[in-house]
Amino acid sequence: MDKYTVLPTDDGHNMRGGWMVHKNGKMQGRPHTKKSAAKRKMRNMASDGDTIEVRKTNGQVQSGYPRTYQGGNSSRSEDNKGGGRLPGMGTFKTGIGFD
């Protein structure tokens, strides 16, 4: 099982640089400007049984973590392939003229 952690980046100024996803202590990909984006990336990378953890800007573990990932990512489910809803944009169908 792997361990995924969202940590603040140290840009030497005021932590404005963003947030990074680490897998087993090694950085994965590019920094995210929002913590929520890094958490979403971490959930997309994690598999059932992996440990996930989110840290605050001061390095402390955020409330509710660490925990074992249980999946449930509806955006990757087979039932969600037909289309979806964008806020304020109505509905859309995937694969129509965008392939």
Residues 39-80 have pLDDT tens digits of 999 999 999 999 999 999 888 998 888 888 887 654 443 333
Both tokens of 12, joined, read 């030497």
Q: Who contacts 34 (Cβ-Cβ below 8 Å, separation ≥6)?
A: 18, 19
**This prediction's pTM:** 0.65
Contact 3, 24 (CB under 8 A): yes
Q: What angle do CA 35, 64, 36 make, to 5 degrees?
A: 15
Query: Which pLDDT tens digit goes with each residue over 34-46?
Result: 999 999 999 999 9
